[in-house]
Amino acid sequence: MTAPAIESHPLQPFLPPSARVLMLGSFPPPRRRWCMDFFYPNYLNDMWRIVGLVFFGDKDAFVDAPAKRFRHQALVDWLNGQGLAFYDTACRVRRLQGNASDKFLEIITPTDIEALVHRLPLCTAIAATGQKSAETLAAHYGIKPPAVGQSVDINVAGRRLRFYRMPSTSRAYPAPLAAKAAAYEAMWRAEGLL
C-alpha cells in the first residue's frame, strides 16, 4: 500500500506588519472543502463567525450566506488593520485518512515559527487554534500545552511571547459558538485588540 502524498502548504503566511497576535492553526483542509483562498476556508469552520461576533456583534459580518462563502476581500481588508496575523504550525503534511481531521494529520515539516515572528515586530502573542496546533507548538518549545483558553510565556527568538491554547473553531469541537467566541474575545482583549 502506497503512503499518502505529502502536501505543501497552499497559502503564504498572512503577516500584516502591525499584527500583535499570530493565529496558528494546524493545516488547511483539502481544497475541495474551500469556499475562498484564505485561512479557515471551510464554510463550516467558525473562525470568521467568531471574528464577526467578537468585533462586530454579528456572526455573519463576513458571511455571504446565499453563496455559502465568506466575504474574502472584505475580510482581508479589515484584517490588515486589526493586529491579527495567520498561518499554520505545519508547512508539509500527509493526510493519513484523506480528510481534514487533525487526528489523522502527520506533520512532515513544522513551520519555522521564529521566522514568522521575526517578520512581526509588534507581536506579543501566539494563539494555537486547536489541539493539534497547540501540541505542535508546545513540542517545538519543549513544554506542555496550556489548558484551553489559558496561556504560558515562551521565548521565541529572544522575545518573550504569550502562547495561548484556544478552542478549535471546527464544528467537530463540541462547544457552542458563543462559548468559543467568549474564549477568543478574552484573549484578544488581553492582547489589546479590543
Spatial separation of the C-alpha atoms in residues 149 and 100, rounded to whole Å = 23
What total number of domains does the chain contain?
A: 1
Q: Are residues 4 and 98 in contact, defined by beta-carbon separation less than 8 angstroms?
A: yes
Spatial separation of the C-alpha atoms in residues 101 and 26, rounded to whole Å = 10
Note if the pTM is more than 0.85: yes
Residue 98 has a pLDDT of 65
Please list the rounded mean pLDDT of every run of 10 residues in the chain (194 residues). Answer: 85 97 95 95 97 98 97 96 96 79 82 96 96 94 95 95 96 88 98 96
Residue 14, in any domain of the structure:
yes
Residue 1, in any domain of the structure:
no
CATH number assigned to the domain comprising residue 137: 3.40.470.10
pLDDT in tens, 127-174: 999 999 999 999 999 999 999 999 999 999 899 999 999 999 998 777
Spatial separation of the C-alpha atoms in residues 12 and 191, rounded to whole Å = 24
Q: Are residues 144 and 131 in contact, defined by beta-carbon separation less than 8 angstroms?
A: no
- Nearest to residue 126, comparing CAs of 28, 55, 25, 13? 25
| Cell 485561512, located at residue | 39
Domain coverage including residue 149: 6-190
